[in-house]
Amino acid sequence: MPRWPLSSSPVTTTVPRGLAPRQLAWQVLQAVAAGAYADGALERELGRMELSVADRGLATELAYGAIRQRRLLDAWLDLLGKVPAQKQPPKLRWLLHLGLYQLLASDRIPASAAVSTTVELAKRGGLAKLAPVVNGLLRACLRRQEAGEPLPMPQDPAVALGVSQSLPQWLAQDLLAWLPADQAEAFGRACNSPPALDLRVNRLRNSREAVLQALAAADVAAEPIEHLPMGISLTGRSGDLRQLPGYEQGHWCVQDRAAQRIAPLLDPQPGERILDACAAPGGKSTHLAELMNNEGTVVALDRAEARLRRVARNSERLGLPCIHPRHGDAATLVERMPEWRGSFDRILVDAPCSGLGTLARHADARWRIEPTAIDGLVLLQRQLLEGLLPLLKPGGRLVYATCTVHPRENSEVIAAFLADHPSWTLLENWQLWPGSSSGGDGFFAAALAAG
């Protein structure tokens, strides 16, 4: 697990009002810069500091927002500072990111509070001599805002897209090759917005209408998701999800609206034997079991034992004993379990991928993904497909899905597969994009019938 240096300032409970969540966010930015994953760093810091629900929400918004907007914030530093962003002392750079993000992207934080708390953090966090620099740069940004002077954008469309939507340059370039300019902009905006919090109602334990009524009675704002019979979107602040009505009773689980479209493509039927080949954390396995009325068998396979335990916990909470978690590698399963050859009616391959459809959900992912990694992922995806084919019954159905938007991992994988297996039939395929009218994450899915 990545390690990172803790802040030189001790965590105390005597910091001025509003400073604690900003201090926590700053520590998360430093941790991520040192190699930590954003979600892990945030969880660790939240565990070290007692904050109200509102302050926990603010710390999360500031940390994730500033991480997502890193490239845009660096461009502002380059414009306003005497020293380019890349040459700033890292601790100062991330503190300035925190202050600039509040000025540029948060409409609920007064500018005066954004400036004063950032300067105070500098004084308390070992940057006292640089506090005037922090104050001067943030006030220069504020003056430009008040004068209606936006950040000048480069002439090159791909560079302008990368800066304005804070995307790595390779991805901005590719987006403009895949999409019209307005849709590429919409993709970027969606990736920089906090993701929707969607639920999937467990049809075996309750109805969507009853869950909506229970949420309303608990003063939790929610609405049904169009075209998803069991989908609900939480539209307001919800706090700890485990405290919401119906959680303990297994009336619902958390699942993005795009992911809710995958299991129905497999068209699972009661009594069938189904393999979810890359199952953890179990959202699609439980959806399959619900669609089968908990009749039959869902083998939930995954290589990660820790994540597989989440599948077991989710299955138990939702009351789905037809799910059987199994540790193993899908690519070599037929070698280890030859008796499973030709034994599955349907197979779901939710393949490992670059995750480019979930950048809003994983704040630091865009800065970790390298385009060269796509080659290895495509190879793994093809190995999974080829390794799983012998396990499917003649005439069975296979669904290949990813949470990415890269054509090489999606449509090109399926085209190559069909070229190598002409007896197979493509039944349906689609690509969902972040920023589209359907909302949710970016997902690709293809349903195939065995020859």
Q: Which residues are catalytic?
A: 403
Of 62, 49, 166, nearest to 109 (Cα)? 62
Sheet holding 252-254, edge to edge: 222-224, 231-234, 197-201, 252-254
The DSSP secondary-structure symbol of 83 reads S
Coil/strand/helix, residue 31:
helix
The pair of structure tokens assigned to 337 is: 């379990």
Beta-carbon contacts of residue 293 (< 8 Å; ≥ 6 apart): 204, 270
CA distance 413 to 402: 11
Whether omega before 245 lies within 30 degrees of 0, making that bond cis, reads no
The pair of structure tokens assigned to 263 is: 């299991």
Cβ contact 419:382 at 8 Å? no
CA distance 79 to 81: 6
CA distance 393 to 397: 8
CA distance 392 to 94: 51
The alpha carbon of 64 is separated from its chain's Cα centroid by a whole number of angstroms, namely 11
Sheet holding 344-350, edge to edge: 323-327, 297-302, 273-276, 344-350, 392-402, 443-449, 425-432
Buried b or exposed e, range 359-379, using 16+ CB within 10 angstroms: bbbbbbbbbebeeeebeebbe
Beta-carbon contacts of residue 230 (< 8 Å; ≥ 6 apart): 200, 201, 202, 203, 208, 260, 290
What is the enclosing helix (H) or strand (E) of 92?
Answer: helix 90-105
